[in-house]
Structure 1
Amino acid sequence: MYWRSVVNVMFMAADALMFVIAVLAVQLFRDDLRDLNAARINWLMPMIVGVLCSAVMWVVSLSVAGIYHRHVMGDGYQVNVMILKAGIICWFIQCAFSFVADLDLALAGLNLALALGVVLTMIERMALRPVVVRTRNRRMFSYATAVVGSPEGIRDTLDFLGQRQQLSYHPVVVCPIRWNARDRRIEADRSCGAADFTSNGTPIAVVEYAPARFTGKLAEAGVQTVMVCDVLHRFSDAFNTFSVRMESMGMEVALITSAADAAGHETQIRSMQDTTILTLRLPQYSAGTRIVKRVFDVALSVIALVASAIVTVPVAIAIKLTDGGPVFYTQRRIGLRGEPFDMIKFRSMVVNADALKAQLAKDSGQEGRFIFKMKDDPRITPVGKFIRRFSIDELPQFINVLRGDMSIVGPRPPLPEEHERYNQIYATRMLVKPGITGPWQVSGRSDLSAEESERLDVSYVQNWSIVGDIVLMLRTVSAVAMQRGAY
């Protein structure tokens, strides 16, 4: 509680300062530095009081949006979404306050100050995030965590937490367990010792599982969160009793689940006579939202094709002049629910690129990988290298969107041979239309491992929303500008 309070006070002060700067900057720009007349209560509000009230409203709006939650502080793009949400909330609060007090406040000035406050807060959060991450690397501003599961699951989880400092979990102990099928109970796995577990090169202590004394040992180690990675399965009696033991000691239980887990689905419980039925539903897949997404795709594709003509026409000419080959390259891809389609791209490789792929995959050790990518691919032409770097080769795919084969945002469309190797969980990515951009493109692209790509795509299917698509498009601009993983 101590460090959470310290971090939140720091963030609140910085957020309020950004809004104060925004309000004063707009007032100076509009030459409107004056006191405000609250006619309804017959009070001339001093300018500084009005500015401070606006800053307090901004902090309250951010709090309502959830930005000060303990599992959000220090996060990346998720924070920007919450700041935008807070901007909408703050607009309503300020308009309501202005109406109730009958302030002589110009709507244009309010809108400008709010917009500038949103931008400055985003910049401030980007600047503070590295500070929080560096502090967490020194094992501060994070939750002392016990990782419970099989030895293999514990190692995978320690690697996962080491790569994602924004999650705030700092492993201090591990507890290897296994399922005893004969006695149908959880027991300690004594096949490994402390030397078998490390976090960022630091050995992690091992606590042996024993139901009677286990919680006391974790409390003595200062554990605040118990992270279950496998063996203990949700909804099982073993997990339920384990969870109660931890929570009764004031510890939080975190559960590593499958990317396709149904926890985020809308649920309804109905009881009929002696039977209870639990109904699961993803509300974003209603007919109405599908229509909105389609209209959004068509409108944006038409605008994009017209606006990009100034770039695509010279590129088409350059590709033709390079080797006389075709301007466009069509490739069979797999779309919604496994239906094949021909994806259109600007040709960025030599004419016989597909014939050379098998040998290059063998030479680079990527024969079994879903996504074949290599730096300095010899098949790429000079023009192709340029258009790939800035994702210009993807622009003709807006034609696929108009045809209904693709969407603006969605998982990357796979090749038929990639689709054939999908496992049960990864195949769920085919339940939505593939996209020109998506979570894979904005999160590292070719630098991602196959496992990371899988988690991103399946999570997109679970959490899809129109607002989320807009955020991914905005992140695409940043990813293209920074050229992350583009090769």
Structure 2
Amino acid sequence: MEESNKAELGQVTQRRLTSVGYWRFSVNAALTLLDMVMFCVASAVVINVRHEIDIYSFRFGFPINLYIYLSVCALIWAFCMHTAGIYHRHVMGDGYQLNVLLTKGAMFAAVMTCAFNFIMRITMSLAAIVLSFVFGLLLTMVERFIMRAVITNGRRKGRYSYATVVVGSPDGIEHALEFLAQKQQLNYRPVAICPIRLNPVTGLVEADDDISGLSKRVKNVLGMGVPIMTYSDDFAEHAVSLHAQTVMVTDVMYRFSDNFNTFALGVESMNLEIALVTSAVDISGHETQLRVIQGTTVMTICLPQYSPAAMLQKRIFDIVVSAIALVFIAVITVPVATAIKLTDGGPVFYKQTRVGRRGKTFKMIKFRSMVVNADGMKAKLAQQTGQENRFIFKMENDPRITKVGRFIRRFSIDELPQFWNVFVGDMSLVGPRPPLPEEADRYNQLYATRMLVKPGITGPWQVSGRSNLSRQESENLDVGYVQSWSLLGDCVILLRTVGAVLSHKGAY
């Protein structure tokens, strides 16, 4: 009987792996082919418009057919995109992360193509190459936007996703399910939950039988019920029988603990993947290096974006862009200043003490969008709206905002003077928003890490929903930025800011 059960589990595992391998291969093959087609279309149009269809290799002394040349460049394009990581299953349905990697892959492909042309000594102008890759990138972004809709729609129907068992405390499970319900680009599809707890006496993990109301909470989050598993030694076998591919651990079992290590061995021995929900400041994003010193292993970690060279690049970028911006916004300063002055005769600019990097205070400049005594009204309004303890005070119909202020806030015009703060070094173009001193004083240990970088005019919070986000979502975005910012990522956030301003989503 036991042998038949093992044989059945083996067959289930094999069918599961075959099914996953099939859809992953099919989706990636389709995406690769479409990416290559987009590049070929863009390049063919550019080359024909510029009348550079006669391609010749001076090194080998023979003409090259246009279609053969485009095919080789398309293969380079696909290879570089694969190297950049855009075909990873967690990326293919994403928006922000995908565009960052597409840009990175396109830049790498342009360099590789220039190297190929140099080796072959091909008669292709640099302008044609640059335009081909720029328009190829734009077309690929459009294609991936459409495919993202197709993939996320398929995941709602259970396709292109990994059947997942969520393990943790009842609260941890509920929080993870809420996250998965909101993030449709992720490919985790809950098929069961397994509530656990830590035995205070033995220190071992055991089944949590205090699950009153858990089924109802899960149904409220997902809109449907999922089976509740009882944790036991045969957990992995039970998960396989449910055709699960992934086990998501939310809490209770933490990294580097004996409980997690033994659990992981049992799960991975059944060819199940483990997804571990960790803190936003987990060290997994750091560069690590192992050294053996007199028989003792020492692991060193570092974040490369905090090197002096990387920080200097960010500062130069801030100075150049803010200087250009200050020249351009001079055109709208006069009409905006006039409108603000005519509203109530108060000052045009509003200066407020904010907290910058590592607790250093500075005066942040904005076009005044509120009545003169707005700060005095804040405490009363916070009490009325139940936001006394929220780090970022926002209300949709704030009575302190003037008519002119509502307009300039709608288009984020009130933030433009902050380019001066960036130019003088108080702020950066991209980063978490600068808090008030009383807000910074209430930060917990984790959220206080946002103060390790300069505050920004825009950031991940502004381009991801702004005031429509919950407190937890806002905090996670800020802390995550500190952990993983890059100059290329900053450029993408600046571009996304334009879309966020035009859509007005969460702007109040």
TM norm. shorter chain > 0.5: yes
Instruction: Quote the offset at 1:58 in angstroms.
Output: 1.5
2:223 counterpart of 1:204:
no
Structure 1 Cα separation of the partners of residues 171 and 244 of structure 2 = 21
Q: Deviations over 1:194-218 (max 9, x none)?
A: 724335211011121112x111111
2:168 counterpart of 1:149:
yes
Match of 2:68 in 1: 49
Correspondences of 1:227-306 after superposition (within 5 Å)? 227-306=248-327
Correspondences of 1:318-467 after superposition (within 5 Å)? 318-467=339-488
Instruction: Quote the offset at 1:221 in angstroms.
Output: 0.5
Instruction: Quote the offset at 1:258 in angstroms.
Output: 0.9
Correspondences of 1:214-233 after superposition (within 5 Å)? 214-233=235-254
Alpha-carbon RMSD: 1.6
Instruction: Quote the offset at 1:473 in angstroms.
Output: 1.2
Instruction: Quote the offset at 1:41 in angstroms.
Output: 4.1
- The one-letter amino acid of 1:91's match is A
- The one-letter amino acid of 2:56's match is N
Correspondences of 1:128-143 after superposition (within 5 Å)? 128-143=147-162
Are the aligned partners of 2:47 and 2:53 in contact in 1 as well (CA < 8 Å)?
yes
Match of 2:85 in 1: 66
For residue 274 of structure 2, give the secondary structure of its aligned residue in structure 1: strand
2:33 counterpart of 1:13:
yes
Instruction: Quote the offset at 1:56 in angstroms.
Output: 2.1
2:109 counterpart of 1:87:
no
Instruction: Quote the offset at 1:39 in angstroms.
Output: 4.4
Q: 1:175 aligns with which of 194, 205, 208?
A: 194
TM-score (norm 2): 0.92
Deviates more, 1:285-294 or 1:447-456: 285-294
For residue 165 of structure 1, give the secondary structure of its aligned residue in structure 2: coil
Match of 2:8 in 1: none
For residue 205 of structure 2, give the secondary structure of its aligned residue in structure 1: strand
Structure 2 Cα separation of the partners of residues 275 and 445 of structure 1 = 48
Instruction: Quote the offset at 1:392 in angstroms.
Output: 0.8
- The one-letter amino acid of 2:223's match is G
User: Where does the alignment leave 5 or more consecutive residues of structure 1 unmatched?
Assistant: none
Deviates more, 1:188-197 or 1:113-122: 188-197
Instruction: Quote the offset at 1:46 in angstroms.
Output: 2.5
- The one-letter amino acid of 2:285's match is G
2:134 counterpart of 1:112:
no
Instruction: Quote the offset at 1:241 in angstroms.
Output: 1.2
Structure 2 Cα separation of the partners of residues 85 and 64 of structure 1 = 10
Are the aligned partners of 2:52 and 2:124 in contact in 1 as well (CA < 8 Å)?
no
Match of 1:78 in 2: 97
For residue 159 of structure 2, give the secondary structure of its aligned residue in structure 1: coil
For residue 457 of structure 2, give the secondary structure of its aligned residue in structure 1: strand
Task: Decide whether aligned partners of structure 1 residues 381 and 202 sit closer, same or farther in structure 2, where only a CA change above 3 A counts.
Answer: same
Task: Decide whether aligned partners of structure 1 residues 184 and 376 sit closer, same or farther in structure 2, where only a CA change above 3 A counts.
Answer: closer
2:480 counterpart of 1:480:
no
Instruction: Quote the offset at 1:52 in angstroms.
Output: 2.3
Structure 1 Cα separation of the partners of residues 58 and 323 of structure 2 = 50
- The one-letter amino acid of 1:119's match is L
Structure 2 Cα separation of the partners of residues 201 and 461 of structure 1 = 34
Instruction: Quote the offset at 1:230 in angstroms.
Output: 0.2
Task: Decide whether aligned partners of structure 1 residues 53 and 403 sit closer, same or farther in structure 2, where only a CA change above 3 A counts.
Answer: closer
Q: Deviations over 1:205-244 (max 9, x none)?
A: 1121112x11111111111111100000100111111111
**Percent of aligned pairs with the same residue?**
54
Structure 1 Cα separation of the partners of residues 200 and 295 of structure 2 = 31
Instruction: Quote the offset at 1:274 in angstroms.
Output: 4.1
Structure 2 Cα separation of the partners of residues 61 and 290 of structure 1 = 27
Instruction: Quote the offset at 1:276 in angstroms.
Output: 2.8
2:474 counterpart of 1:470:
no
Task: Decide whether aligned partners of structure 1 residues 99 and 402 sit closer, same or farther in structure 2, where only a CA change above 3 A counts.
Answer: closer
Structure 2 Cα separation of the partners of residues 122 and 284 of structure 1 = 26
User: Where does the alignment leave 5 or more consecutive residues of structure 2 unmatched?
Assistant: 1-20
Q: Deviations over 1:431-474 (max 9, x none)?
A: 11111111111111111111011101111111122222222111
Structure 2 Cα separation of the partners of residues 97 and 398 of structure 1 = 42
Task: Decide whether aligned partners of structure 1 residues 310 and 259 sit closer, same or farther in structure 2, where only a CA change above 3 A counts.
Answer: same
Match of 2:51 in 1: 31
- The one-letter amino acid of 2:111's match is F
Match of 2:14 in 1: none
Instruction: Quote the offset at 1:317 in angstroms.
Output: 1.3
Q: Deviations over 1:300-324 (max 9, x none)?
A: 2221111110012211111111110
Paired residue total = 485
Structure 1 Cα separation of the partners of residues 183 and 118 of structure 2 = 45
Match of 2:118 in 1: 99
Instruction: Quote the offset at 1:410 in angstroms.
Output: 1.1
Instruction: Quote the offset at 1:295 in angstroms.
Output: 2.2
For residue 63 of structure 2, give the secondary structure of its aligned residue in structure 1: strand
Deviates more, 1:96-105 or 1:247-256: 96-105
Structure 2 Cα separation of the partners of residues 45 and 382 of structure 1 = 64
Match of 2:24 in 1: 4
Instruction: Quote the offset at 1:43 in angstroms.
Output: 4.2
- The one-letter amino acid of 1:206's match is I
Q: 2:210 aligns with which of 183, 186, 191?
A: 191
- The one-letter amino acid of 1:209's match is Y
Match of 2:13 in 1: none
For residue 187 of structure 1, give the secondary structure of its aligned residue in structure 2: strand
TM-score (norm 1): 0.96
* Stretches of 4+ aligned residues off by more than 4 angstroms: none
Select the structure with the greater relative contact order (CA < 8 A; seq sep ≥ 6). Answer: 2
